[in-house]
Amino acid sequence: MEWPSYLDEYQKLVIRMNTPRAMIDNAGCSNATRVTIDSARRHGILLEAVQVLTDLNLSIKKAYISSDGQWFMDVFHVTDLNGNKLTDESVINYIEQSLGTIHYTSSRSIEGLTALELTGTDRVGLLSEVFAVLADLQCNVVESKVWTHNGRIASLIHVKDCDSGSQIEDCRKINRIEARLRNVLKGDNDIKSAKTSISMSVTHTERRLHQMMFADRDYERKPIISKSNDSLVVLVQNCLERGYSVVNVQCKDRMKLLFDVVCTLTDMQYVVFHATINTAADRACMEFFIKHTDGTPISSEAEKQRVILCLQASIERRASQGVRLELCTSDRAGLLADVTRTFRENGLNVTRAEISTTGDTALNVFYVTDAAGNAADSKIIEGVRQKIGLNDLKVKELPLIYHQKAEEKDEPTVGVGGAMLSLGSLVMRNLYNLGLIRSYS
């Protein structure tokens, strides 16, 4: 293990004494790999553990989280996207190594790239205008993620200078980029809230997008098109005898759902002391026992409502709306500007995007709707594919998440009316469910 240069010998000793231990077991569960982590407790460590698993596109089928005193233990039942146990030794070793070093993982600079952060009001063709400006200013987009929610847009774009092939260091050019992008984001109606900035480092791209949309207060804004989501339920109650606030979330399951919820709770300065996560068919039921970082529970009805709105927003931001289009082609200057201009000219709006470059190949994913936010006409999609290239741009279905049969799943710990089990019952029941004790009765 290589230690960061800023640590002295005493700090290294403390880390050795408190290094998280990760145990991966393929024998204890018939249909999933069990990942157990125990470590000294600190704020944010749960998020970092979940982040390691979700960055590998693992499906978390069930989890139990407990934190008492200065120690915490997490147990995750995970599979790959096909519902299989983890058998690749390189993946298992990576998980063990990553979970064992999360105590001193810090934000990192994106070497050789300049990070642009953009927030503003979403509109049809906005992304096309942004990429056109970058192409005109000789900026090559290497990586980017774009989210939209409630009429707002947040994007983190990593670029390099076309001439030098590295990050942009000319202050005058940086100022021109910021000014022109700010004008694009402002449009005619967003004079005050449109923002552009240069970021020298990021902790995690998707966490940063959550932070940007949270700072933009997207959770308070009404969507341009009202689409009720009856399947999403968030409840907040106080368990006063134990000093906790209890958050119950029930919604459609999807990849990275737990990451999105834990990310929001962490950035709102709440600590998760106990939690259970269960999935059945395509549904997820999650229960979190939380406190503020100062050890107090939620204190007012207004704060409860704010937590509910923020968690609903965190779940909805990544929800995939529209047709998924995957572009795989040779990278070139202005590629993204050309592709997104074709979308705009055909009345397609990009609701989410993931841009990446590997060597000389561009691997991009777009989710598109029509201008009103409804499903795009299949004839328009085919017309766009013909213009861009049928072999380059393809319609792709979302990857399926495997779940065991509903009858094999555990009983939810939260009833339909939101009735809670006692904390002791919850802890013992889930220790049993996760195979850590023989009986909880």
CATH superfamily of 115-222+320-395: ACT domain (3.30.70.260)
pLDDT band at 441 (very low <50, low <70, confident <90, very high): very low
Token couple for 268 = 């709102």
**pLDDT score for 418:** 40
**pLDDT score for 16:** 58
**pLDDT score for 199:** 78
- Residue 344, classed as helix, strand or coil, is helix
Which residue shows structure tokens 């929001």?
Answer: 264
CA 81 – CA 79 distance, rounded (Å): 7
Say if residues 153 and 195 touch (Cβ distance below 8 Å).
Answer: no
Neighbours of 81 (CB within 10 A): 13
In percent, how much of the chain has pLDDT > 90?
Answer: 62
Question: Is the model more confident about 427 or about 344?
Answer: 344
Closest CA to 111 of 155, 162, 167, 161: 167
Question: Is the model more confident about 264 or about 163?
Answer: 264
Which of 16-30, 37-51, 88-102, 408-422 bottoms out in mean pLDDT, i.e. has the lowest? Answer: 408-422
Angle between helices 126-136 and 171-186 (to 10 degrees): 160
Which of 95-99, 118-122, 402-406 bottoms out in mean pLDDT, i.e. has the lowest? Answer: 402-406
- Residue 81, classed as helix, strand or coil, is coil
Q: What is the mean pLDDT of residues 224-241?
A: 78
**pLDDT score for 409:** 41
Q: What is the mean pLDDT of residues 167-191?
A: 87
Q: What is the mean pLDDT of residues 246-275?
A: 96
Instruction: Flag whether pLDDT at 146 surpasses 80.
Output: yes
Instruction: Flag whether pLDDT at 283 surpasses 60.
Output: yes
Closest CA to 309 of 221, 224, 227, 373: 221
Which of 50-64, 98-112, 263-277 bottoms out in mean pLDDT, i.e. has the lowest? Answer: 98-112
CB under 8 Å to 171, separation ≥6 — which residues? none
Which of 179-183, 260-264, 342-346, 421-425 bottoms out in mean pLDDT, i.e. has the lowest? Answer: 421-425
The full length of the chain comes to 441
**pLDDT score for 127:** 95
Q: What is the mean pLDDT of residues 207-223?
A: 90
For the chain, what is the mean pLDDT? Answer: 84
Say if residues 316 and 252 touch (Cβ distance below 8 Å).
Answer: no
Which of 189-198, 231-240, 352-361 bottoms out in mean pLDDT, i.e. has the lowest? Answer: 189-198
Instruction: Flag whether pLDDT at 197 surpasses 90.
Output: no
Instruction: Flag whether pLDDT at 118 surpasses 70.
Output: yes
The secondary structure element, H or E, covering residue 145 is strand 139-149
Instruction: Flag whether pLDDT at 412 surpasses 70.
Output: no
**pLDDT score for 103:** 55
Task: Judge residue 103's burial from the number of C-beta atoms within 10 Å of its C-beta, 0-12 exposed, 13-18 middle, 19 or more buried.
Answer: middle
**pLDDT score for 423:** 45
Give CA torsion, residues 114, 115, 120, 125, to 10 deg: 60
Instruction: Flag whether pLDDT at 288 surpasses 50.
Output: yes
Question: Is the model more confident about 335 or about 224?
Answer: 335
**pLDDT score for 10:** 60
For β-strands 348-358 and 139-149, DSSP reports them as antiparallel
Q: Where are the domains of the chain?
A: 15-103+230-302+410-433, 115-222+320-395
In percent, how much of the chain has pLDDT > 70?
Answer: 80
Q: What is the mean pLDDT of residues 40-66?
A: 91
Q: Dmax of the chain from CA atoms? A: 69
**pLDDT score for 276:** 97
Instruction: Flag whether pLDDT at 110 surpasses 70.
Output: no
CB under 8 Å to 134, separation ≥6 — which residues? 141, 157, 159, 177, 181, 336, 337
